[in-house]
Amino acid sequence: MVEGLEMICFQIISNVGTARSNYIEAIHRAKERDFEGAQQCLEAGQAEFLKGHDAHFELLQKEAKGMPVVGSLILIHAEDQLMSAEGFKIIAEEMIAGYRQMEALEKRLEQLEK
């Protein structure tokens, strides 16, 4: 069994949880038309996600070297959180693009009404 497995799992959960929070904040900022703030949140989220992803990759490397990574509920939870955060990133990027489009269309409409 991999030594420190629980700590690695908690590291993954912590990092990707922070990433997911950043992605959600990015959506909120885009809704308020703060696209610069939204981009900063996406970038901060990506940095945290990569930390969690790297910790997960560390487990994969250990298993590839013959150190068995025994499945546990905490590992399953960590992997679930990792995938959830990745999904939130995709959703955030799509929503931000949608808000940008809405803003551009609203500006065009305002110009046509003048």
For the annotated catalytic residues, the residue numbers are 77
CA distance 54 to 47: 11
Let me know: does 22 contact 42? Beta carbons within 8 Å. Answer: yes
Structure-token pair, residue 109: 């409409």
CA distance 18 to 31: 20
